[in-house]
Amino acid sequence: MTEQRSERRAELYDWFSSEFYDHHAIRDDLDFYLSYAVNTPGSILELGCGTGRILVPIAGTGKRITGLDRSDGMLKICQGKIDRLQAEVRGRVRLVRADIRRFDLHEKFSLALIPFGPFNCLPDTGDQISCLNCVREHLDDDGSLVFDVWYPKHEELRMSEHGYHVVKDQPHFEMPDGRRVQWGIFNASVDYNRQLIHEEMYYDIDYPGGRKERLIYPSPVSYFYRYEIEHLLARTGFRIAGLYRDFHKNEFGDQYPSELIVEAVRQ
């Protein structure tokens, strides 16, 4: 099997992860984020909008939404979905290529969303604070921020010290050109000092002619605990209004969480 790996993360992400993303990025958070969107009085900002998995349904509710992402490949797919919508819906959507740590949109929003853990992809405290400061500057005085982060499982961290397949043996999905693709996630190592997991997302591809290939996207992923998030928000002018362990709004704290989901208000 041919293996391709690169440390040029943004280029690699655009190259193949954007193409395969919608085939495996499946989770039960859409209704959760829609519930905030439909109840917000003004326009909405989504950071890390990707291919529009959350953005497009929100636009369909009648809300104005701006989607921000640094991946050209993701935004191209998202724009293709928007182009197929009715004209009145298309007119409510704006896409911007930018880094979630540093952006200036010259607009204020009632609600900012960061679904599916883009915040985990910020590798150090300075990046995290920069992102939250940018969000705060783009919110109305009483605006809200809703986001989720992956919550670490201690056993997975321990196993990841020497390499651990977090996701494997997933069903194949088939691309329009006949390629059969299977995706997985391998944690190569852990940096406890910086609270980083060195994760590798990979795609095993079977081509129609019989050739096999593995594409690997390496990425450091931050993990957070409850009070770290609270301190980051307090330092950047936010107050926590809700804290949940899942997308059914079950309260964080009584069971080991699958997610750490935060509703914060600009102070």
pLDDT score, position 11: 62
Cα dihedral sign, 61-65-53-255? negative
pLDDT score, position 15: 72
Q: What is the pTM of this model?
A: 0.94
Q: How confident is the model at residue 245 (pLDDT cuts 50, 70, 90)?
A: very high
Q: How confident is the model at residue 53 (pLDDT cuts 50, 70, 90)?
A: very high
Which amino acid, one-letter code, is at 111?
L
Q: How confident is the model at residue 29 (pLDDT cuts 50, 70, 90)?
A: very high
Whether the per-residue pLDDT at 167 is higher than 50: the answer is: yes
CA-nearest of 233, 203, 231, 13 to 114 is 233
pLDDT score, position 80: 97
CA-nearest of 200, 219, 37, 231 to 115 is 37
Averaged pLDDT score across all residues of the chain: 94
The share of the chain scoring above pLDDT 90, in percent, equals: 90
Q: What is the pLDDT of residues 111-163, one digit of tens each?
A: 999 999 999 999 999 999 999 999 999 999 999 999 999 999 999 999 999 99
